A and B are shown apart, each in its own frame.
Chain A
Amino acid sequence: MAAAQAGDRAALETLLRRHHDRLWALCRRLTGNHADAEDALQDALIAIARGIGRYDGRAAFTTWSYRVATNACLDELRRRRRRPMPDAPGMLGTGESPDGPGGALSAPPAPTAVEAVADRVDIDTALALLPQDFRAAVVLRDLCDLDYAEIARVLGIPVGTVRSRIARGRSQLADLLGNPTDQQNRPTTRS
């Protein structure tokens, strides 16, 4: 780290390669398709390379790099919203790969699309159906293993909000993924 901050290109390359796969996983899960994930990750790597000298060590490098990558992904999602996209409800019925041409999961679907999901869907489809703020919180927790305080710092929200978003996001994901115990058959809470 110190060598990279001092301008050592080889040290930076080692650092970026070491963290590449986990940043890729974050971007892939947040953006929902390969093409946008590649763009977002490349933006993130460039931002890290340019900002490494300003990294002050107050947060772990992992947390800092997650923040940079998360911001890059959110930027990419904003750009994506400004591009014409296929209709989400139609896409859901096609079984098209999320990595397919055009980024099948590009547009956040309307609530009616969520309700239309009757069968088991894959994790990318389920994530795409989550509100963006829920998705980021859940991915940072369950994929990246950040604790609630770190997620709060990355997303700039209170810890209580993080807890709420994670709980709600996980719950929605569980329902969307069609776990064996669905809402109606689930045991009821004792009063």
Chain B
Amino acid sequence: MTAPHDPDDLASALLDGLLTADEAAAARRDPAVVARLAELAAVREALRRPPAGPDPVARERGLAAALAAFEVGDDAAEQRGAGASVVGTVGDRGRRGRADRPAGEPTGTPWRPRGTAGRRWLAAAAVVLAVVGLGVVVSNWNAGSDSADTAGGETSTRAGDDAGGGSDEATAEEAEDGAAEQGAAPTVAPGGIVELGELDSSEALAESARSAVAAQSASPLTESSSGQDAAHDLGAGGGALRSRCPDFAGAQRLPATGETILLEARATLHGDSVDVWVLAADGTQRVVAVDGTCEVVVDRPLD
């Protein structure tokens, strides 16, 4: 590599063995670089000290949830057959193990979601609400809280659940989760990423995406975005999709040549976080969802 000139860059490169022998020798003659190298080495040592381990119960719960998801996934895949468009499966939702675990259920056993009957109906109702309320939600976002606005309507669906001790964080998280369980009216996160909430089918995802597109139809986001800009914002959500899945063939289709991105969104589908795009070309639209392993789990036309 070409040796950098800044002492910090030189020291970092030296620490990682990126310099040639001559470059390294020259760098070591610079007292500023040598001093910085010692500091960076100390930082590395501090980082490598193992953090305190997880709670053993949480550890076992996480492993059990993963194994349960593995088994449920296999079963569900067999039931769906080869033609199914959704690869993800209904299974345990890991992060719910803390806030949503029903009272009295022993820890250490995989948490299973409550029945999903009615969620589709609720999702449809949320779509209607979303079209009307999206502007309100956007304005409320600036106030820094999406939980307080959605908490009011979720009490009945959460009756009987473990309230989780009543801490502020637990209350906020449950409000967020509760909103999701009602079908989650789309909200807009920083960077223009629309939150579609928790959905239990590709049909519900498509419906919610269609609604969100209608709500922001006046301003398509970009055309055939390269994803490069998003690569610099790891936290931006759907915009980071192409950058974080660069070598997966499925993601490379997004967007296809000539397609326009009408919507970037995120959703929870069958308990998995997914990035969602609505793409348009030649008068047709499709909705695409990609999961955390960079696999396309939904790719279907929007009617």
| Seed contacts A38-B55, A41-B62, A142-B47; 17 additional CB < 8 Å A-B pairs | A13-B63, A13-B67, A20-B62, A24-B51, A42-B95, A47-B291, A47-B293, A50-B272, A54-B293, A58-B247, A68-B293, A81-B189, A83-B147, A99-B52, A132-B235, A154-B244, A179-B39
Report yes or no: B247 in contact with A50, Cβ–Cβ below 8 A: no
A171 within 8 Å of B (CB atoms): yes
Selected interface stretch from A29-37, A88-96, A109-117: A29-37
Report yes or no: B47 in contact with A29, Cβ–Cβ below 8 A: yes
A1-43 residues at the B interface, CB under 8 angstroms: 7, 9, 12-13, 16-17, 20-21, 24-25, 28-29, 34-35, 37-39, 41-43
Chain B neighbourhood of A9, CB < 8 A: 67, 70-71
Selected interface stretch from B8-16, B125-133, B207-215: B8-16
B91 within 8 Å of A (CB atoms): yes
Chain A neighbourhood of B42, CB < 8 A: 174, 177, 179
Report yes or no: A79 in contact with B176, Cβ–Cβ below 8 A: yes
Known: A50-B91, A54-B295. A21 touches B63 (CB 8 A): no
B240-271 residues at the A interface, CB under 8 angstroms: 240, 242-247, 266, 271
Cβ-neighbour of B292 out of A43, A77, A171 (below 8 A): A43
Count B-side interface residues using an 8 Å CB cutoff.
92
CA–CA, A76 to B294, complex, Å? 17
Instruction: Give 1 or 0 for each of B43-76: 1 = CB within 8 Å of chain A CB.
Output: 1101111111111001101110111011101100
Chain B neighbourhood of A188, CB < 8 A: 32
Known: A9-B67, A133-B232. A101 touches B245 (CB 8 A): no
Nearest CB to that of A36 among chain B residues? B95
Chain A neighbourhood of B172, CB < 8 A: 83-84
Nearest CB to that of A86 among chain B residues? B168
Report yes or no: A82 in contact with B176, Cβ–Cβ below 8 A: yes
Chain A neighbourhood of B15, CB < 8 A: 170
CB within 8 Å of B: which residues of A?
Answer: 7, 9, 12-13, 16-17, 20-21, 24-25, 28-29, 34-35, 37-39, 41-52, 54-55, 58-59, 67-68, 71-72, 74-79, 81-84, 99, 101-103, 123-124, 132-133, 136, 138-139, 141-143, 148, 153-157, 161, 163-164, 166-168, 170-171, 173-174, 177, 179, 181, 186-190
Report yes or no: A47 in contact with B51, Cβ–Cβ below 8 A: no
Report yes or no: B32 in contact with A189, Cβ–Cβ below 8 A: yes
Cβ-neighbour of A77 out of B35, B146, B235 (below 8 A): B235
Report yes or no: A49 in contact with B167, Cβ–Cβ below 8 A: no
Chain A neighbourhood of B182, CB < 8 A: none
Report yes or no: A75 in contact with B292, Cβ–Cβ below 8 A: yes
Cβ-neighbour of A46 out of B48, B59, B92 (below 8 A): B92
Known: A38-B62, A79-B176. A170 touches B12 (CB 8 A): yes
Report yes or no: B48 in contact with A142, Cβ–Cβ below 8 A: yes
Instruction: Give 1 or 0 for each of B65-91: 1 = CB within 8 Å of chain A CB.
Output: 111011101100000000000001101
B285 within 8 Å of A (CB atoms): no
Report yes or no: A17 in contact with B63, Cβ–Cβ below 8 A: yes
Report yes or no: A186 in contact with B32, Cβ–Cβ below 8 A: yes
Nearest Cβ on chain B to A48's Cβ, whole angstroms: 7
Nearest Cβ on chain B to A9's Cβ, whole angstroms: 6
Interface centre among B30, B32, B46, B176 (most CB of A within 10 A): B46
Instruction: Give 1 or 0 for each of B167-204: 1 = CB within 8 Å of chain A CB.
Output: 11100110010000000000001100001000000000
